[in-house]
Structure 1
Amino acid sequence: MIVTRGLTKRYGRTVAVDAVDLEVREGDRYGFLGPNGSGKTTLVRMLLGLVYATSGEIEVLGQPVPKRLADVLPDVGALVEGPAAYPHLSGRRNLALLDAAGRHRGRRTRRRRIEEALERVGLAGVDRRPVKAYSLGMRQRLGLAGALLDRPRLLVLDEPTNGLDPQGIKEIRELLLELNRDGTTVFLSSHLLAEIEQLCTRVGIVDHGRLVLDDDVATLRAATGRVLLRTPDPAAAAAVLDGHLEHRDGDHLVVRYADAAELNTRLVSAGVRVSDLRAEHRTLEQVVLGVTGHGSDRFGGTR
């Protein structure tokens, strides 16, 4: 769905995107993750023909971009750097103008398409209110509605949950999961670790313009080989686990043990009561900080 080879963008002496080789497969929910200023938005703009690359190649839906961009765009929905809209017009009217400007859209089905898009993003009840009265979150929803007018094969989103409250973020996440189940490939650029971790199946991590990691989320969140244990008998557990215990804090223990089920059996057989026991997995935050080497203040878990 998206392929780049050696994609590079320079602004004078500044390299915003540095020789990125990217592949987004059909059916992916691909998270493009990086701190602010890492080159994410510049790359997204190049995918959509909004910025020309200095060097390298881009294919979207099997077509070269920007050469065949006009053939590609009807099957791509996009929301980049916040939604654009005429503030004095209603949300519905803005969508009608956007729909009229698109290719392969029939006038007879326009009203139905607009109503479906507004309903899907939760704006059906305020669709006739002028956009200048919208909150930032409502504007973001309107932009997403515009991206969904044509039921795109590929959805390219740059920080789509900007300005949304936790409930709104959850609703957009569920919508994107539904769209993906129905066959839409989702490419989501964000700096929000928690959202990428909950939504995406694959992730690419970019730092200073370079793609420093590209892998399945399940692989990245592999077990660490440690078990997190909570027990009302911490002293007895520590005695049983001599040589395996790495850390103890009250009734919480961190144990170096590959098989959590086997560990549980061992403790119970020794008469140690177990309140909670689970294998430890790496978080996406740990993965990101490991490959970028930056402090966590460059990333956010919430807005």
Structure 2
Amino acid sequence: MIRTRALVKRYGAVTAVAGVDLDVREGDVYGFLGANGSGKTTTVRMLLGLVLPTSGEAEVLGEPVPRAARSVLPQVGAVVEGPAAYAAMSGRANLALFDAMGAGGPRRTRRARVSEALERVGLGHVDDRPVRAYSLGMRQRLGLAGALVRRPRLLVLDEPTNGLDPQGIREIRDLLLDLNREGTTVFLSSHLLAEVEQLATRVGVLHRGRLVLQDALDELRGPTGRVEVGTPDVDLAARLVRSAGLAVDLEGRGLRVVSADPAGLVRLLVDGGVRVERLVEERRTLEQVVLAATTSDAAVPA
């Protein structure tokens, strides 16, 4: 769906994007992560043909961008650097105008498309108030509705939950997951790791303009080598584990054991008379993965 090769963008002496090789596959929810100023928005703008790369190549939906932008972009829904709208017009009128510019489809079904898009983002109740009277969260929802009018194959979003309260964030998260299940590939640029961790199937991490990490989220969040054990027999369990030469920390009604063999650990405990109520293999969080990638020597450009 998206592929770049050695994508570079320089502004004078400043390199905003330095040789990025993105690989976004059909059906992904791809979390594009990085701190503010890392080059995420510049990369997104190049993918949409809004900024020309200094060097390198970009493909969207299998076509070169910006050369094939005219045929590609009608299949892409996007919200970049905040939603755009005519402030004096209502949200519904804005979407109708956007649709009339060729975003959606036949004129006879325009009203239905606009209503459906507004309903999906939680703005189905909007009246004729001008957009200037909308809150930031409502504007974000309207921008997303504008992207959905296209009924896109690919949805490209830059910080889509900005300005939303926790309930709104959850609603947008559920909507994106629903769209993905229906066949839309989602490319989500964000610095909110907790949100991306609940959405993404694959992630890429940008640091100082360089892509320092790109893989399936499940692979990145691999086991830490520690196992959490819940048991009412904490003292007995700790003695057995220590006698086997394993490191252990006590934690209330449980313990945390350094073990590369969870099944063997269970056998050791059960054979020793320990009642095991819970056993969870500890996995790395996305925050731990990103911090490791962005603080290592390899992540710092020469």
Q: Deviations over 1:96-135 (max 9, x none)?
A: 1111112562211110000000000000012432212211
Q: What is the SS of the residue equivalent to 2:45?
A: helix
**Cα deviation code 1:64-95 (max 9, x no counterpart):** 11111111111000000110111221110111
The equivalences for 1:14-163 within 5 A come to 14-103=14-103, 105-163=105-163
**How far 1:4 sits from its partner (Å)?**
0.7
Alpha-carbon distance, 1:275 to partner: 4.6
Amino acid at match of 2:237: A
Give the equivalent residue in structure 2 for 1:269.
271
- The Cα of 1:258 is off from its aligned counterpart by 2.5
Provide the rounded CA distance (Å) in 2 between the counterparts of 1:102 and 1:192: 33
Q: How does 1:196-215 map to 2 (within 5 A)?
A: 196-215=196-215
Query: Contact (CA 8 Å) 1:118, 1:127: kept in 2 or not?
Result: no
**Displacement of 1:147 after TM fit?**
0.1
Shift of 1:149: 0.3
Q: Deviations over 1:46-73 (max 9, x none)?
A: 1111111111111111111111111111
Counterpart in the other structure of 2:300: none
User: Which residue identity lines up with residue 170 of structure 1 in the other structure?
Assistant: R
Gaps of 5+ in 1: 295-303
State the distance in 1 between where 2:104 and 2:131 align: 26
Which whole-Å CA distance do the structure 2 matches of 1:164 and 1:5 have between them? Answer: 35
Provide the rounded CA distance (Å) in 2 between the counterparts of 1:180 and 1:46: 23
Q: How many residues align?
A: 294
Match of 1:299 in 2: none
Gaps of 5+ in 2: 297-302
The one-letter code matched in structure 2 to 1:22 is L
CA distance in structure 2 between the aligned counterparts of 1:280 and 1:143, rounded to whole angstroms: 39
- Equivalent of residue 260 in structure 2, options 258, 278, 282: 258
Rounded Cα–Cα distance in structure 1 between residues aligned with 2:127 and 2:225: 52
SS at match of 2:125: helix
Answering whether residue 293 of structure 2 is matched by residue 291 of structure 1, we say yes
In structure 2, which of residues 274, 277, 280 is the aligned counterpart of residue 278 of structure 1?
Answer: 280
CA–CA distance in structure 1, aligned partners of residues 227 and 6 of structure 2? 41
Secondary structure of 1:163's match? coil
Report the residue type matching 1:286 in the other structure.
Q
Report matched runs for 1:171-182 at 5 Å.
171-182=171-182
Separation (CA, whole Å) in 2 of partners of 1:277 and 1:224: 14
CA distance in 1, matches of 2:14, 2:254: 49
Equivalent position amino acid for 2:261 in 1: D
Q: Is the 8 A contact 1:260 1:279 kept in 2?
A: yes
State the alpha-carbon separation in 1 of the partners of residues 104 and 168 from structure 2: 31
Alpha-carbon distance, 1:20 to partner: 0.5
Distance 2:265 2:127 in 1: 57
Question: Structure 1 residues 82, 134: closer, same or farther in 2, change over 3 A?
Answer: same
Runs of 4+ residues over 6 Å off in structure 1 = none
Tell me, what secondary structure is at the counterpart of 2:250? Answer: strand
Shift of 1:166: 1.4
Q: Write the distance in 2 (CA, Å) between the matches of 1:106 and 1:37.
A: 40
Do the aligned partners of 1:78 and 1:157 also contact (CA within 8 Å) in 2?
Answer: yes
C-alpha contact 2:104 2:151 (8 A) present in aligned 1: no
The letter of the residue matching 2:41 is T
TM-score, structure 2 as length reference: 0.93
Amino acid at match of 2:280: R
C-alpha distance in 1, partners of 2:105/2:121?
A: 20
Change (3 A) 1:103 1:192: closer
- In structure 2, how many angstroms separate the alpha carbons of the residues matched to 1:222 and 1:269? 28
Amino acid at match of 2:184: T
Q: Distance in 1 between matches of 2:272 and 2:128?
A: 68
> Is 2:253 the partner of 1:247?
no
Within 2, Cα distance between the matches of 1:227 and 1:17? 40
Letter in 2 for 1:269: D
For 2:266 and 2:248, the matched residues in 1 are separated by 17
- Residue 301 of structure 1: aligned partner: none
Percentage of identical aligned residues? 67
Q: Is the partner of 1:196 in helix, strand or coil?
A: helix
CA distance in 1, matches of 2:185, 2:233: 50
d(CA) in 2 for partners of 1:232, 1:245:
19
Q: CA 1:173 to 1:230, structure 2 compared with 1: closer, same or farther past 3 Å?
A: same
